[in-house]
Amino acid sequence: MQKHYMKSEITDMKAEIVDASTVSLSPIVTALTIDNGFVNSAGEVYDKNGTFIDFPRELGSKKRKNIDTESVQKRVKNKEVVCLIHERKNYSYFHWVLETLPKFVFLNNHRDKFDLGKAYYHCGLWGTSYQRQALRQLGFNRWNLIDARRVQLLNAKKVTVLKLEEERREPTKELCQMLKDAFVKAPAANPSRRIYLTRKNVKSGRQITNELELEAILRSFDFEIIDPGQFSFPSQVKLFNESNLIVSPHGAALANIVFCNAGTKIIELFNHKNIQLGSQSYPNISQVCDFELTRLPAKSTSTDTDEYVERCDFIIDLDAFRLALANALS
């Protein structure tokens, strides 16, 4: 019968799980290491006999069957493979910046702890442009990576799986600071830019139906109208670090606030049906990073029968927005 183990039990189970150990490497990351282990494209890890190891990850492990070790697609015989797969396998910009990129930063900061041969994650054809740009800044290239979309199961001399310690949507101050230290090379001495992040070219919804009127108000207060998707990753980092007032609809681009400075003011515009769903990502980041966040619910254009009400378009109450903006500018 297959057994499942909590993290604290892994080091005491050598009679059943072969050559496995776990260690907390920092307040941010815990690592599970298996000699001659296996890992698959879901981030599930197995010992050299194919026995599943229940190593709790970001969203927790579930029961898994043991694997056929002969079905392995790739073997890395002389080096360590570090698995950075997130269980969600969602590589939108938000999840990349806050759930996977921190593992790469940690790996880069502590290369002396690993006999690194390859990093294993869902990169596709060397990833999106923002993934490539971020990884190049950290010294990774396509030859350092194994794509979990192509290699469903691999075996290595040593397999290490990295897990973030904090709960999803609750990045710690230490994690945010680690990202900022890694990518903000020349911090702004006097952040003063005012930016509005438009979603007009985003296909996943949350469009503001009266955005032209909103932009007219913002331009009268010297805001720059920014489409983040048109900026490289280093340019987005620089832009947010130089800003002290940000207005944006709820969306992935706001993950860049981790590169802002304490005291930055943010107005997050929200489909009122979405705010009821309890999306607390940016309030949590703002709290640990000492930002001033104002959340302004807006009237949704959706009906109760819409399948994805949180992604529906919405209309801004311009009088309410003027008041929120006046408070932020005061």
- Band of residue 10 on the pLDDT scale cut at 50, 70, 90: very low
Task: Reply yes or no on whether the pLDDT at 7 is more than 80.
Answer: no
Tell me the CA distances in angstroms from 126 to 18, 42, 99, one per residue in order. Answer: 33, 18, 18
> What pLDDT score was predicted for residue 16?
45
Higher pLDDT, 87 or 64: 64
97 residue type, one letter: V
Q: What is the pLDDT of residues 170-212, one digit of tens each?
A: 788 999 999 999 999 999 999 999 999 999 887 767 788 899 9
**What pLDDT shows up at residue 254?**
95
pLDDT at 280 over 70: yes
Query: Nearest-CA neighbor of 77 among 140, 152, 20, 156?
Result: 156
pLDDT classification of 15: cutoffs 50, 70, 90 = very low
Confidence of residue 126 (pLDDT cuts 50, 70, 90): low
Rounded mean pLDDT, 49-56: 81
pLDDT value at 245 more than 50: yes
Question: Which of 41-50, 84-93, 157-166 is least confident?
Answer: 84-93
Of 170 and 247, the one with more pLDDT: 247
Alpha-carbon span 237 to 38, nearest angstrom: 36
Choice between 274 and 109, residue whose per-residue pLDDT is larger: 109
- Average pLDDT on 250-254 reads 91
Question: Around Cβ 200, how many Cβ atoms within 10 Å?
Answer: 11
Confidence category of residue 77, pLDDT binned at 50, 70, 90: confident
Model's pTM, two decimal places?
A: 0.86
Report pLDDT for 198: 94
Confidence of residue 13 (pLDDT cuts 50, 70, 90): very low
- Residue 231, pLDDT score: 95
Torsion angle defined by CA atoms of residues 298, 302, 304 and 307, in that order, rounded to the nearest 10 degrees: -120
Does domain 184-329 sit in CATH 3.40.50?
yes
Residue ranges of domains in the chain: 7-169, 184-329
Q: How does residue 306 score in pLDDT terms, banded at 50, 70 and 90?
A: low
3-state secondary structure of 227: coil
User: Strands 74-83, 153-164: parallel, antiparallel or unpaired by DSSP?
Assistant: parallel
Residues recorded for the chain: 330
Phi-psi region of 300 (alpha: psi -120 to 50; beta: other; left: phi over 0): beta
Residue 268 has pLDDT above 70, yes or no: yes
- Cβ contacts of residue 50 below 8 Å, gap of 6+? 38, 66, 67, 68, 69
Query: Which of 91-100, 136-145, 164-173 has maximum average pLDDT?
Result: 136-145
The answer to whether the CB of 41 falls within 8 A of the CB of 148 is yes
* Residue 278, pLDDT score: 54
